[in-house]
Amino acid sequence: MPSKLLVATGNEGKLREFKKVLAGVCDVLSPRELSLLLRNVKEGTNYAENAVLKAKVYSDQFDGLICGEDSGLEVDALDGRPGPLSARYGGEDTPHTEKCRLILNELKDVALYNRTARFRATIALVDGDNVETFEGTLEGWIGFEYKGEEGFGYDPIFIPQGFSRTNAELGMVIKNRISHRAKAIGKLAEYLRNR
């Protein structure tokens, strides 16, 4: 089992999730904690490409295991949008509250049974030239209004299957147990334990 893992993200919410799920497996470090230069990453065409690119951007600054993660919201009524472009949907500098409202507006005439959606996460573990990927999904649907204060991103409009409240209303304990990212990190944890 490795002792240290660099998670190539500046997103504190994602970092907390990695640290929680990987507790006891390895020490999760962020670029900020190691005073590494944060770098912009060229975009790929899908989650796996983006995750690999995010990890590899630090390979010249960190000698060890690095993982990158890319995730997004896929709304069936919007032909899978925003997908890998979730973070930039509606404009790169648009606040997430506005991104959520944009999707709610696009779905304003769509009935509940056609509002199916999923969160998808892909993690890429880079070890020199070796790359392993791990995926997790969380099925659900898009609600009719913005609800909840916990979570981040599209959590206030996404209702996971088996629940009647949004991710942002469920709270971090439940969200971290069921989330797409937690599922992908769980697969990563199992892989790391068996290395």
Q: Could you tell me if 13 and 36 are in contact, meaning their C-beta atoms sit under 8 angstroms apart? A: no
Residue type, 153: G
Catalytic residue, candidates 60, 63, 70, 109: 70
CA dist., res. 167 & res. 148, Å (int): 8
Q: Kindly give the pairing relationship between strand 130-142 and strand 158-160.
A: antiparallel
Which two three-digit tokens encode residue 65? 């295991």
Give me the phi and psi of 137, to 5 degrees please.
-130, 155
Q: Is 127 a catalytic residue?
A: no
Q: CA 119, 122, 124: angle at the middle one, nearest 5?
A: 165
- Catalytic residue list: 70
